[in-house]
Amino acid sequence: MKKTLLLLLIVPFLCVTLKADAQSNNNTGDNFSSLIISGPADATKLINAYAEPLFKGFGVGMNSGWNNTAKTKKTLHVDLRISATAAIPPSSEKSFDVTKLGLTNVRPADPNQTITPTIVGEKTQGPQLNVYDNNGNQVQQFNMPKGVFPAVPSPQIQLTVGLPRNTDVTIRGVPNISFGNSGSISMIGFGVKHDIIQDFATTTRPIPFDLAIALGYTSLKTNIGLTVNPDDGAQPKDNQQATDFSNQHVQAKFNSFVVQAIISKKILFFTPFLSVGYNTASINFATIGNYPVTTGATALGTPTYTTFTNPVSIQSTPLSAMRADLGFQLNLAFFRVYASYGLTSGYQAGNFGIGFGF
């Protein structure tokens, strides 16, 4: 059961990081460590460019699935739902040019091979990059990673409770779950929806549709273990270099927020809806621990490494845009089926879920 939850909740991170359980001299481009060996400044730029569609797509997904109708629940009625979103990026975000990143010590081995896949790009190995020291001597080389998946998945697990005055409150949450050496995951989110049009309805003047304003906030935290060791035969640059690499892990936190206006009309057991709004997502991503990076060689040609502590830190707001969603809800007694299609910042979001209402 825990393994299933792990795959559902942090599969985007796993695809990037669990392949890093290898030595840093593996330059095939199949793991996360191949980017860390380029050094802190260049690694941060490369990882951010490679993983930005993941960051943005996950934000799109976290802002999906909050509501499939403008109609609110009766007081103390509840709805439990589980759904999942696939965020499909535009073609413009499936690759990037490494020469446009302002890299300092990294250059393409072939000046004509500079375009590489992002994490949502083609599953073909990226170009070979050479790493140079401050004196212009080549000390390493690696290939950029392949694309991993065409769409970014994210889950939604939530409970909604009806309150008086045409208002719903929703909570999303996963308690902190540890997966041993693989890492841990936790999530919390809060939402509120108010059916403003029904404030004006009366028994003598009913209004035949619902119009609501809804807000949603989600925060997800995860830690994932890494193993990046020195290159074979490499020695510390000097006795000031740390040699304990047991504390390596990725630490990431996502925050997302969405505000929407929703209109819907119930037709028997079928309720179509349309919503427009604004959504944002921010990411704080860091590699924590000591990481050995080959930065030179002895007079006899033995490679030497420098140990960098917490070498990669990315803080950004990859998503801040209008969004629109179109979908429906099916009410089959106490059983619910939800589906919607959304569009924001060029990303398409398909959401599907099931639930139970009482």
Q: How confident is the model at residue 339 (pLDDT cuts 50, 70, 90)?
A: very high
How do 210-225 and 249-264 pair as beta strands?
antiparallel
Asked if residue 287 lies in contact with residue 310, where contact means CB atoms within 8 angstroms, the answer is yes
Within 10 Å of residue 192's Cβ, how many Cβ atoms? 15
Average pLDDT value for residue range 313-317? 96
Q: How confident is the model at residue 40 (pLDDT cuts 50, 70, 90)?
A: very high
pLDDT reading at 20 higher than 60: no
Buried b (16+ CB within 10 A) or exposed e, 43-65: bbbbbbbbbbbbbbbbbbbbbbb
pLDDT reading at 338 higher than 60: yes
Average pLDDT value for residue range 172-185? 78
pLDDT reading at 29 higher than 60: no
The domain of 110 spans 2-357
Edge to edge, the sheet with strand 235-236 lists 235-236, 303-309, 290-297
Which tens digit of pLDDT belongs to each residue from 83-92? 999 999 999 9
Q: Work out the mean pLDDT of the chain and round it to a whole number.
A: 89
pLDDT reading at 193 higher than 50: yes
What pLDDT shows up at residue 176? 81
Using alpha carbons, select from 137, 126, 128 the residue that is nearest to residue 109: 128
Average pLDDT value for residue range 189-216? 89
Residues 6+ apart with CB under 8 A from 235: 298, 302, 303, 304, 305
Total of domains in the chain: 1
Name the token pair of 83. Answer: 């759904």
What pLDDT shows up at residue 6? 47
What pLDDT shows up at residue 299? 85
pTM listed for this prediction: 0.89
